[in-house]
């Protein structure tokens, strides 16, 4: 059996409907099985690396261990979110001008690997304020490199994988990536390896994985296309006025940021109930990775049928999880072994549903020749909303974690109504 035929057999086993071009050209369709596997392989490596270098957990713990000020710890998530989303408005026109856009993703992946390697070096040689400043600067470089991957990926996915198979590709990658991060979380929780050593090794592994992902993605077969002159950076914002469905999609996605912003406040409830931060660190990593492992493949397959419904079901799950966290705390159950981990698990299932649903919906909704611009506009607006929501959440936390979680629950509830009004794209 040749390598190509093996890829074809595996491709047919992993997707619901391998027949039909799915919107691809004849030449591109011939290479779809191998491209599907390259997408799954490179994206799973990238997702493992993301889990190993998670700024909310791993880098925050590392800076505290190195004696850096809490100011630097507080900068990690804003740097990561803003750096990954806000530059896309300016990088999208350059990506659209490329004849083969896979090279943008390759460059972004290699950039993330180099930045991660720099963080490892800083962790081994620096302490206190110098460590905090250098690691935050390197995280900014990593985030900008990630933004290049993000703004180019949807366009490449739409160009190289058929419409009814895209969710399967991203869902498989998420599940494979989550399975590896589960192992890291379990080792982290057991304490059998020195924690500082384990974190540094994990960061080094993340660097290697990003470099390997770039190498695999470089072998993707992408049909050469005439480079398009993209709209001026700020001119792309006209899409918001021209496309009401894009506006509604961004509103839905903005409201669903509640699933991404809420986990630290659930951890805070646990801390107030007397749990140690190390236990909660390990539990958060484990809950996120197990939820992704169990749900991403399912969410991806569902998204191929209806990404709108995936977003709506994710909003329902997020609302139930966030409301349950408050109810359980008011009932005095947040100190039990099962309560908050279960809530966190459900919330992370919702979070991964949001990630799968919004990615596939945007790819399928955007015009074939304008996906990069749609991605850039959407991600830039969401980057601003995330920063605003993060600041608002920090201010709301002064009133207590329960009040903040109630606000996030209300956002998820509103998202159910907004997503229900989206057009059905698939099918």
Integer-rounded Cα radius of gyration of the chain:
21
pLDDT of residue 425: 80
Q: Locate 405 and state its tokens.
A: 């979680």
Domain range for 379 is 26-420
pLDDT of residue 277: 44
Is 290 within the bounds of a domain?
A: yes
Is 306 within the bounds of a domain?
A: yes
Is 59 within the bounds of a domain?
A: yes
18 φ, ψ to 5°? Answer: -80, -5
Where would I find the H helices in 32-87?
Answer: 32-52, 60-65, 70-85
Is 357 within the bounds of a domain?
A: yes
Is 19 within the bounds of a domain?
A: no
Is 141 within the bounds of a domain?
A: yes
pLDDT of residue 117: 94
Concatenate the DSSP letters of all residues of 106-121 into one string.
HHHHHHHHHHHHHHHH
pLDDT of residue 205: 94
Angle at 108 between CA 100 and CA 161, to 5 degrees: 45
pLDDT of residue 223: 75
Is 366 within the bounds of a domain?
A: yes
Model confidence, pTM: 0.72
Is 4 within the bounds of a domain?
A: no
Give me the average pLDDT of each 10-residue run along the chain (427 residues): 58 62 69 79 88 80 77 72 77 75 89 94 88 90 89 79 73 78 80 82 94 90 66 66 87 89 73 54 71 79 88 96 92 76 89 88 80 79 76 65 88 94 80
How many domains in the chain?
1
CA-closest candidate to residue 46, choices 139, 135, 113: 113
pLDDT of residue 389: 66
CATH of the domain at 183: 1.20.1250.20
């Amino acid at each position: 059996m040749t390598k190509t035929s093996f890829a074809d057999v595996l491709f047919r086993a992993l997707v619901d409907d391998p027949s039909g071009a799915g919107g691809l050209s004849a030449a591109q369709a011939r290479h779809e099985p191998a491209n599907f596997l390259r997408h799954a392989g490179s994206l799973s490596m990238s997702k493992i690396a993301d889990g190993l270098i998670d700024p909310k957990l791993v880098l925050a713990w590392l800076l505290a261990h190195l004696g850096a000020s809490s100011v630097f710890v507080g900068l990690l998530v804003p740097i990561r979110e803003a750096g990954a989303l806000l530059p896309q408005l300016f990088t999208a026109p350059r990506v659209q001008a490329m004849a083969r856009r896979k090279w943008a993703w390759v460059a972004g992946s290699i950039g993330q690997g180099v930045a991660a390697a720099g963080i490892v070096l800083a962790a081994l040689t620096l302490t206190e304020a110098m460590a905090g400043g250098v690691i935050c600067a390197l995280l900014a470089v990593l985030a900008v490199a990630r933004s290049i991957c993000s703004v180019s990926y949807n366009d490449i996915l739409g160009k190289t994988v058929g419409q009814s198979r895209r969710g399967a590709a991203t869902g498989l990658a998420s599940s494979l990536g989550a399975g590896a991060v589960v192992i890291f979380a379990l080792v982290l929780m057991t304490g059998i390896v020195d924690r500082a050593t384990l974190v540094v090794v994990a960061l080094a592994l993340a660097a290697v994985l990003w470099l390997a992902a770039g190498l695999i993605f470089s072998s993707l077969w992408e049909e050469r296309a005439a480079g398009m002159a993209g709209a001026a950076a700020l001119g792309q914002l006209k899409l918001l006025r021209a496309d009401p469905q894009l506006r509604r999609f961004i509103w839905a996605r903005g409201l669903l940021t509640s699933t991404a912003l809420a986990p630290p406040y659930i951890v805070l409830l646990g801390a107030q109930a007397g749990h140690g931060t190390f236990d909660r660190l390990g539990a958060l990593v484990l809950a996120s990775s197990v939820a992704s492992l169990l749900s991403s493949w399912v969410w991806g397959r569902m998204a191929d049928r209806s990404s709108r419904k995936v977003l709506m079901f994710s909003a329902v799950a997020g609302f139930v999880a966030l409301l349950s966290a408050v109810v359980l705390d008011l009932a005095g159950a947040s100190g039990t072994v099962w309560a908050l981990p279960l809530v966190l698990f459900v919330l992370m299932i919702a979070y991964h549903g949001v990630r799968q649903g919004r990615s596939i919906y945007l790819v399928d909704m955007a015009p074939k020749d304008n996906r990069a611009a749609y991605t850039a506009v959407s991600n830039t607006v969401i980057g601003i909303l995330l920063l605003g929501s993060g600041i608002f959440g920090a201010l709301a936390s002064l009133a207590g974690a329960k009040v903040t979680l109630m606000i996030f629950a209300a956002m998820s509830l509103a998202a159910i109504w907004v997503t229900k009004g989206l057009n059905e794209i698939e099918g």
